[in-house]
Structure 1
Amino acid sequence: MTPPLVAGVDIGNATTEVVLADATTGTPVAWDRTMTRGAKGSPSSVQGAAALVRRLARRVSGTVALAAVAPLRPVRTSAATVPEPPPDTGRFRVLTAGVSSPGGSGVGIGRPVPLDEVPASGEPVVALVAVGYREAAARLRALLSAGAPIVAVLLAADEARLVANRLGAPVPIVDGVDLAAVAGSALVAVEVAEPGRPLRSLTDPLFLATSFGATSFGAVPADSGALRRVARQLADVSSAVVTVGGSASDVSSEPLPSRVWTPDGAVSLAEAARLLADARPGAFARYALDGGDPIVVADLAVVDVGALASSLLFRAGTNEGGYALAGLLPTAGPVPADVLLGSALGVPVVCATSEATAAHVGAVTTPGAPPDAVVVDLGGGTVDVVRPEGERVVAGGGDLLTAAVALGLGVTRGAAEWAKRGPAVRLETPQLATQEDGDKTFLPVPQQAGAVGWLAAPGPAGLLPISVRIGPAEWRSFRLALKQAVLGTAVRRGLQDGVTGTVLVVGGPAGDDEVLRIVDAVLPDGVGLGRGNVAGALGHRYAVAWGLALAALAAL
């Protein structure tokens, strides 16, 4: 006869975990997880948990005699990203930068002129070309041979290299340009660097000032700061077009500022990100994005992705950066979980004291863990620090890390979910990859030729290309810095009252191979650290569920 089973049921905000234990031996016999149906504490979430319990019981041909659940207090979180506002470049404008296939090389500054109106002589001009590459190359070659003062070429179509290969002169050519936006400018500066090299002239504010100032505009004191901001935008690209006069950068169209309210008043997102590491949970009570209505939160985490990238000299391009936020929203009281689950399962259900208590009881069954260990439960929306005497919940977790990675790399959150997890490679050929430590590795399965040259991370169906701009070593530095800013900061805030003894890390993100070094960086010397292996067999995910199963065993 099959011995009766008990079930520990952990209904979380994102996933639901269940562990079945043998009521006779007290050992786990089956465990699994599923996505939580609907909101935590809703009838659908309880029905989904009950379905998982029944499925596991059928798997081991057993019968559940008793279940345990914790009071379901929904933890509502929100994640948002705010792009970096464009810098105020005054009467100067970065029209385009970092196109994928520029042509020629060098730098040219001149008056923008349509191809049909290029003069035979006179002051330097930048030719604006709207025709196809065959006609454009023939006409430009004839004009240059006749001595026309063409110092650069801007194309509407994506044909810069086709034109450059037929021109016979090292004129910088940039394609994919909005010619109408250029036509109204007084002067245009165009630079194309040699392959693999950064820009040299347009990243020099004095060069820009001299080139643009040697006209009827004269020197304007405000130009110094504006030109430095222009040059700063072009630090990691190999082609650019900068204009002066006409349509300057429109800072008046920027959204109203985003704000975070602290005990000392409202501050910017950048200031909130700087203050976060030392802010006590709940110190940030409200926030507003783009001048919208304030949103009340129980806690808030803010990551300045752009500042982090700049501090690492990360090759983030010209349009990345901004802020990633995660808010812990106020919630109502707990719902009667034992009543709901008992009705769904048709068996008695006991209600544990709290999820925090269950997490601690389950986590310390890790072999070698002391009974008074501090448990750090890393979740999708929050990080819970659980001690024997209570818990502290702070905003920030796996979802915030995903949002920050997506913002920093300029990829979707789906791609960021895979990219954040660990080391990536650069595909040198369909079968050869460079690791983050520089080692070369032959791949067991050839990759698509179109992925060659891309940074790629392990994905759901093989290697997933994520960026063509950066190398593996750069991504390693940025990835670890983002994890420190998100997970490390959350753990530090949760441990502000001090910590001694041993820290156990559990929860979904605890499976990240790099997470222990992140937590270690915020712990004082003399504190032990380890990843949970619940009951010596369940790994890092099932601390709450196993703690509840133990509560059910004790209630038999």
Structure 2
Amino acid sequence: MAIVAGVDIGNSTTEVCLADFAVSGRRFLAGSIVKTTGIKGTAANVPGIVLALEEALQQVGLALPDLTEIRLNEATPVIGDLAMETITETIITESTMIGHNPATPGGIGLGVGVTVPFDRLAGVKAGERIICIIPGGIDFEDAARELNAAASRGVDLQGAVARQDDAVLIVNRLHRKIPVLDEVTFIDRVPPGMLAAVEVAAAGQSIKNLSNPYGIATVFQLSAEETKMVVPIARALIGNRSAVVIRTPRGDVKARTIPAGLISLSGEKGRTDIDVEAGAAKIMAAVEQVQPVQDVQGEAGTNVNGMLERVRQVMSELTGQPLDAMKIQDILAVDTFVPQKVQGGLAGEFALENAVALAAMVKTSRLPMQQIADQLRRQLGVRVVIAGVEANMAIRGALTTPGTDKPLAILDMGGGSTDAAIISRDERTSAIHLAGAGDMVTMLIHSELGLNDLALAEEIKMYPLAKVESLYHIRLEDGTVQFFEQHLPPQVFSRVVILKESEMIPIPTDHPLDKIRHVRREAKRRVFVTNALRALTRVAPTGNIRHISFVVLVGGSALDFEVADMVTDALAEYGIVCGRGNIRGTEGPRNAVATGLVLSYPDERAGSA
């Protein structure tokens, strides 16, 4: 009898398949899954491997000394990183200030006038067009009384800007309604005597004038050249219900262009340079032009170079290999948006700027895997073998899915990489290992929604959404309504929530449900669908996807509630039968590589006999 464990070290999880090889044949015993410790393919994986082995063995009453052999996949470490290559950065200098808070403005309309501090309101002459600046500490009743008094003297009161959350309370007490914007955090920065514009839209609508460069040009009588320069201001205010723009003495606005940097790609088909500013599509076209990629370098002094060198440095430190031995064997570029803080903003404004996200895969030698094997051997006293390439092992495992046969292609979509492999009827195999998978999707969601909470972005990726419309019902993201007999927790009322198993997690942003859902689905489409097509093209006979008949989806991301459908839809136009795997008829799309490692055990024994 031989007790053999197949161990699949993934970017996110470590999986084990346990089998008993006896004279009467092979019998699968158990399986387990734990979170991967450390970065995939490094010695830090060992504690997670031991824990996964112990969990599987405990299920069948065995212990670590009972193992005959541990078989590891040849794990390639993958680090995904956002290179944040912002094409333009919104810089609004101290000479032009903007502020907005779309939640609680008062009044409706556009007001244009000269800024006057609240304590100087009594000295304003009749007929002067003004915007009153109300600092913190002023009671809303006192503010309304003074504004009414000024208006009764003939002052042309066009609007007001308040520090406190008092806009509605103030407007409700005014004899003549004016647009009032509140919660302007840095109101002390507003200089007196400057031309300003305040705009408030009706509930459910957004401003029209101050989010339009020509509207700003009309208000401030700008030239054509000056109008070009106010585009960042308009962009920062798009979609808001209220806004204030103040022009100070110098009045200069600058949109500073940052050199995005060049990426140098070296591959078997040659070498090419591509500017990150060209966008993800051009970058990926350049990757295909030289593939298979041998190394990627960034232009010195740019953000993209810093990102790529950081990836090399981390892998060098973790593996103990020289920095110059760290070669990037693949990158995935995706167009995205990143919130950039607006310099000169009055309420902590952000503007979405174009950026390119990059996932890079570092190619290391077999040495790190050998270090893992040696450490396990010393620690457990069990024979440890590096048994095979991930994708090839995944094919073996996928073939245990009921209803499958050769020729067969698999897509193994994990946390950091997407693997594809194909096996023909005569057992010939071809495999590819590409950067970019679930971790990159999480980073895109995190970045585009401005969450500052990576764990929350991960949950948005994994679970559907709903809007809590009352304490007794929610509207699901597909439009259906679900009612409850018991009232919901008050903290989720009127919030967009994540439906995680038996709990609701409120999302602490002002983004509507449709926006969050769109960001989530687009991130998955740009990573998973793009990489699925890219990987299958690489392994397909003659590079034509239409020559593939059957595709089995395996790996953690195949469990996602919408990824498998997205990939299936994308492949349907090529006439491909595609679906989630069901490894050994019991495990679903999980455990394919670990199962394949176990299945390869008799082959190795026969080869060494």
Q: Which TM-score tier does this pair reach, normalised by the shorter chain?
A: 0.7 to 0.9
Q: CA deviation at 1:453?
A: 2.4
5 Å-filtered alignment, 1:332-351, equals 332-334=365-367, 335-336=369-370, 338-351=373-386
Q: For 1:353, what is the secondary structure of its paired residue?
A: strand
Q: CA deviation at 1:544?
A: 0.7
CA distance in 2, matches of 1:431, 1:348: 58
CA distance in 2, matches of 1:432, 1:43: 49
In the other structure, the counterpart of 2:170 is: 163
In the other structure, the counterpart of 1:438 is: 479
Q: CA deviation at 1:537?
A: 0.7
**Conserved in 1, the CA contact under 8 Å of 2:7 and 2:71?**
yes
In the other structure, the counterpart of 2:209 is: 201
Q: CA deviation at 1:81?
A: 5.5
Q: Which runs of 5+ in 2 are unaligned?
A: 266-270, 310-327, 339-348, 424-428, 538-542
In the other structure, the counterpart of 1:355 is: 390
Deviations 1:365-422 (A, max 9, x none): 1111223311111111111112232321211111110011111222121111011124
1:285 equivalenced with 2:296 (yes/no): yes
**1:498 alignment partner, one of 524, 528, 544:** 544
Q: CA deviation at 1:161?
A: 2.6
Deviations 1:175-213 (A, max 9, x none): 232234331673211111111111133234433322211
CA distance in 2, matches of 1:344, 1:18: 18
Change (3 A) 1:405 1:41: closer
Q: CA deviation at 1:16?
A: 1.1
CA distance in 1, matches of 2:240, 2:145: 29
1:67 equivalenced with 2:69 (yes/no): yes
Deviations 1:147-168 (A, max 9, x none): 2222111112333233223334
In the other structure, the counterpart of 2:507 is: 466
Deviations 1:202-243 (A, max 9, x none): 234433322211xxxxx4221333345533433311011122
1:110 equivalenced with 2:113 (yes/no): yes
The AA in structure 2 aligned to 1:38 is: G
CA distance in 1, matches of 2:277, 2:405: 40
In the other structure, the counterpart of 2:562 is: 514
1:551 equivalenced with 2:600 (yes/no): yes
In the other structure, the counterpart of 1:328 is: 361
**Conserved in 1, the CA contact under 8 Å of 2:162 and 2:183?**
yes
Mean alpha-carbon deviation: is it higher for 424-433 or for 35-44?
A: 35-44
1:36 equivalenced with 2:77 (yes/no): no
CA distance in 2, matches of 1:392, 1:345: 33
**Conserved in 2, the CA contact under 8 Å of 1:269 and 1:302?**
no
In the other structure, the counterpart of 2:313 is: none
**Conserved in 2, the CA contact under 8 Å of 1:92 and 1:242?**
no
Q: CA deviation at 1:267?
A: 0.7
CA distance in 1, matches of 2:384, 2:509: 54
In the other structure, the counterpart of 2:5 is: 7
Q: For 2:82, what is the secondary structure of its paired residue?
A: strand
CA distance in 2, matches of 1:242, 1:283: 51
In the other structure, the counterpart of 1:192 is: 200
The percentage of counterpart residues that share the same residue type is 28
In the other structure, the counterpart of 2:15 is: 17
**2:179 alignment partner, one of 165, 168, 172:** 172
Q: CA deviation at 1:305?
A: 2.0
**2:308 alignment partner, one of 292, 295, 298:** 295
**1:100 alignment partner, one of 98, 103, 108:** 103
**Conserved in 1, the CA contact under 8 Å of 2:236 and 2:350?**
yes
**Number of aligned positions between the proteins:** 541
1:143 equivalenced with 2:150 (yes/no): yes
Change (3 A) 1:293 1:97: same
**2:233 alignment partner, one of 209, 230, 248:** 230
In the other structure, the counterpart of 2:412 is: 377
CA distance in 1, matches of 2:32, 2:536: 30
Change (3 A) 1:522 1:248: farther
In the other structure, the counterpart of 2:312 is: none
5 Å-filtered alignment, 1:42-57, equals 42-57=42-57
Cα root mean square deviation, aligned: 3.1
CA distance in 2, matches of 1:443, 1:261: 57
CA distance in 2, matches of 1:515, 1:486: 10
CA distance in 2, matches of 1:94, 1:254: 20
CA distance in 1, matches of 2:155, 2:535: 68
**Conserved in 2, the CA contact under 8 Å of 1:71 and 1:351?**
yes
**2:219 alignment partner, one of 211, 228, 244:** 211
Deviations 1:127-171 (A, max 9, x none): 111142343222222222322222111112333233223334321
